[in-house]
Amino acid sequence: MSDRAVASHADAPDIGSADAFGPHLINYGFEFFPNLIEYARGATLRDVDGREILDFTSGQMCATLGHNHPEIVAAIDEACRKALHLYSGMISVPVVKLAEELAAMLPAGLQKMMFLNTGGEANEAALKMAKLHTGRFEVVGLAGSWHGMTAGVSSVTYAAGHQGYGPATPGTMALPAPNCYRCPVGHCRDTCDMACVDIGFALVDAQSVGALAAVVAEPVLSVAGIIVPPPGYFQRLKAECEKRGMLLILDEAQTALGRLGSDFAFALFDVEPDILTLSKTLGGGLPMAATITSGEIADNCAAKGFVHVTSHVSDPLPAQVGLAVLKVLAAENINQRSLKMGARLKAGLEDLQSRHEAIGDIRGMGMMWGVDLVKDRESREPDPEFGAAVTRRCMELGLSMNIVSLSGLAAVWRIAPPLTIEESEIDRGLEIIDQALSETRANSVSRSS
């Protein structure tokens, strides 16, 4: 499968033609839904023909609080009446307030931050700080990871984007992802003794030129197929970093601010990163990101001339929205709601697994679940063709689903509805998945007979 096809399966419904909207849009790796969307509220989308679609993907995993949450809309309105954009050296009240509120939620070692636009940009800043602070340049990521498509972080985005663009950034290397369902080193089955860590760092040490700067990782690997590391994994990873004088960067684009039922995933995994990046869940559907680190690292980088100026660093509009996101997180008990609704979603998926042989594994946390589709449960061979067909049928039935199919090595639904979704909407989505699985299997059997 080409990198472009990987990106399509990673982040878009597998339907529609890239030419559906005429000659003026560049195909950036997605297969577009054929109808234009004109309305979005909560967990519901509506196209120009009036057809409603239930969203089990939170848009691009960003609309954590649902589409067009009233507090987000109010924050945008307030920013429009005050300030949208300023000279990058000017700081607005919302930026200071957002920094104060985030700092109050974070440990003492994560108190210095800058506000940017996307996760890719936040991760670029994190890598630059890690390199400047350590005086080294080698960066290690996890296989299957997704950290962004800009030049530096795309080099440690191992899910896609490596073919056809020339050399990656020098010094980038990969560790095996801690996939307990499909052990990357063929060592375990359904358990993990972390041989992947030992083998991975042995290979890193063999390749390193003595300039190891950082490991960057998602707490739960998303595009890799919702890979939840085993207990103790991140403590082991952090210890290996400390042995080599490396920083640990955790990319919480998808896992922070309620998605897993906690303010931050690193607290659930009992590890504190040296640098934390936030994005998708911080913006509530708007471009908003943050790079957060310690005073020691920030001061050392500043003394060495750290520069990461953009046209929209510290913009007041997204900061105002970020404040609204934190307000809703507390006021609507989003963490608790995520755990409650996630338990309902998990139970429904397990019921489907009991009745559909194609569901090999269900894994996740909070309101972030992966459904691994297989040809048979013993071999665990992925079934991307069947998965794509069921995903298309779900969309036809009014449910937006997202499947990742990395070069045929997996076929996993990433199910991450808005955290404000209603129980009835979860139940309706599960009913559609059930119907789509049954009908697609029946059609497959009919064609083969």
- The reply to whether 70-331 shares the fold of 3-68+333-448 is no
CATH topology for 3-68+333-448 is Aspartate Aminotransferase, domain 1 (3.90.1150)
pLDDT band at 21 (very low <50, low <70, confident <90, very high): low
Are 30 and 50 contacting, i.e. CB atoms less than 8 angstroms apart? Answer: no
DSSP state of 169: P
- Just list the catalytic residues: 146, 218, 251, 254, 280, 414
Asked if residues 38 and 52 have their Cβ atoms less than 8 Å apart, the reply is no
Position 7 pLDDT exceeds 60: no
Place of tokens 């039935």: 397
Return the pLDDT at 239. Answer: 98
Residue 15 confidence (pLDDT) above 90: no
Confidence of residue 16 (pLDDT cuts 50, 70, 90): very low
Could you say which architecture CATH assigns to the domain 70-331? 3-Layer(aba) Sandwich (3.40)
Round to whole Å and give the CA distance between 289 and 285: 11
Average pLDDT over residues 382-397: 96
Quickly state the pLDDT bin for 306 (edges 50, 70, 90): very high
Count of alpha carbons within 13 Å of 419, Cβ hemisphere only? 34
- Over 70: is that where the pLDDT of 449 sits? no
The answer to whether 222 and 290 are in contact (CB under 8 A) is: no
The average confidence (pLDDT) of the chain is 93
The per-residue pLDDT for 448 is: 66
Spatial separation of the C-alpha atoms in residues 282 and 60, rounded to whole Å: 13
Per-domain residue ranges of the chain: 3-68+333-448, 70-331
* Segment among 47-51, 112-116, 191-195, 394-398 with least mean pLDDT: 191-195
The answer to whether residues 231 and 109 touch, using CB atoms and an 8 Å cutoff, is no
| pTM flag (> 0.85) | yes
Q: pLDDT, tens digit, for every residue of 102-114?
A: 999 999 999 999 9
The neighbour count for residue 441, using CB atoms within 10 Å, is 16
According to the model, what pLDDT value does residue 3 have?
Answer: 37
Among the ranges given (129-143, 322-336, 393-407), the one the predictor scored with the smallest mean pLDDT: 393-407
pLDDT at position 208: 98
User: Pairing relation of β-strands 247-251 and 212-217?
Assistant: parallel
Average pLDDT over residues 380-386: 95
Name the H helices within 184-263.
195-207, 233-243
